[in-house]
Amino acid sequence: MKFCSTNKKSGLVSFKEAILKGIADDGGLFMPTEIPKLSKDFFNNISSLSFQEISYTVARVFLGDEIPSQTLKQIIDDAINFEAPLVEIDENIKVLELFHGPTLAFKDFGARFMARTMSYFREQSNHEATILVATSGDTGSAVANGFFNIEGIKVVLLYPSEKVSRIQEQQLTTLGGNISALEVEGTFDDCQRMVKEAFADKEITSKITLSSANSINIARLLPQSFYYFSAYFQLKDRSKSLIFSVPSGNFGNLTAGLIAYEMGLPVERFIAATNINDVFPVFLKTGIFNAKASIQTISNAMDVGNPSNLARIIFLYGNPQSIAEKIFSCSFSDAETKNGIKDLYSKSAYIIDPHGAVGYLALKDYISQTGLKSYNGIVLETAHPAKFPDIVEETLGVKINLPENLKSCLEKGKVAVKISNDVKELKKILLS
């Protein structure tokens, strides 16, 4: 399969070229030239497949013969060696827990798959690479863990100073080895801009091989579609309308769901749940997109004022009216988010993190507006609540036990270089 740029101004490339480049030569994001439908047999027999077998079937469609079948199976078995269980809240609402990987966040799926596929391609070409990543929280830790000690690959993480949780920062800054952390005096949008400017700098790209592991990289995005199929597999009654509510910041997770839908997954509606960084809901309502500076919230991984993956959604569906036929979107304040955490806990004793709480509220809002009585509403729970203990414990008045891998990173010393949000400082570091 070939991949093209969302800007449609550069040539077609293979999956290998797309993953190693990260961003197309014209500055666009890579997308498959076509999204093939999975067979009816796949959906009829999905109950007999393991999560890893589902993942392999989906990946094979996009990778073709670029990675041998047995190697691809090994990559998936190694990268996705944890599950994504569907937890029933009531007869209509379920929570898809995506935090059972090593860094307790959904980014583990994409980061681990990408690290192993990139390592395979790098071994074939014998080129060293530098992965440059902007993170608003969980992306950085997942990428750092996924690429840790991968030979021939260095990782440089940019994160906004004082705008990630302490646990997230510890996960970003304590691995060492081939992982370097840069603490940027600015917002996530500044970090993302610096990454894009570095990719556009001919002096940098002429001297080092740069790639990205944000959701702008297609190899991060595709494996996130795996768990949408897995969620469908776990449903007891598949005859009801299927609705996914996706906590959304840079919109990679939502785009992965849309790819699954285009492959044949019978989704009735997607919900893009945002915090007060509401550029997307406003875009759907007005038809006008205005990027703006991000505002800090308690659901910090969603603090994005200029979501990159909007380019992919527009590539798929064109205008805001067509997008709105597939996606409902709404936004919530921090106070409302805390009330969502309380509401779900009081009704079902389920503890959800702030990002998942926004997804839960958005699903309730959509159901209230549509009046649906029977449905499969799946909220994507993108991070373990223990990653946000101050917020969740204060809101609920309960103590959350820290998983062991979080405890261990809190005991390590932070190692990070603080820089301004001027790309010139980043350039000096990359070329030094």
Residue-level pLDDT at 127: 73
Helix (H) or strand (E) holding 30: strand 30-32
Residue-level pLDDT at 351: 98
380: buried, middle or exposed (CB in 10 Å: 19+, 13-18, 0-12)? buried
Cα gap 181→133, rounded to integer Å: 10
Contact 275, 333 (CB under 8 A): yes
Dihedrals phi, psi of 385, to nearest 5 degrees: -60, -20
Active-site residue, 373 included: no
DSSP string of 367-427?
Answer: HHHH--SSEEEEEEE-B-GGGSHHHHHHHH--PPPPPHHHHHHHTSPP--EEE-S-HHHHH
Residue-level pLDDT at 214: 76
What domains does the chain contain, in order, with CATH numbers? 72-103+221-403 (3.40.50.1100)
Residue-level pLDDT at 361: 98
Residue-level pLDDT at 139: 81
Residue-level pLDDT at 164: 87
Residue-level pLDDT at 410: 85
Residue-level pLDDT at 348: 97
Residue-level pLDDT at 50: 95
Residue-level pLDDT at 266: 97
| Catalytic annotation, pick one of 107, 163, 364, 387 | 107
Q: Which of 421, 201, 192 is nearest to 308 (CA)?
A: 192
Average pLDDT along the chain, 432 residues, taken 10 residues at a time: 94 93 90 95 94 96 94 96 96 97 92 92 80 84 88 92 88 92 93 91 91 86 96 95 96 97 98 98 96 92 93 96 97 98 97 98 98 97 93 95 84 93 96 90
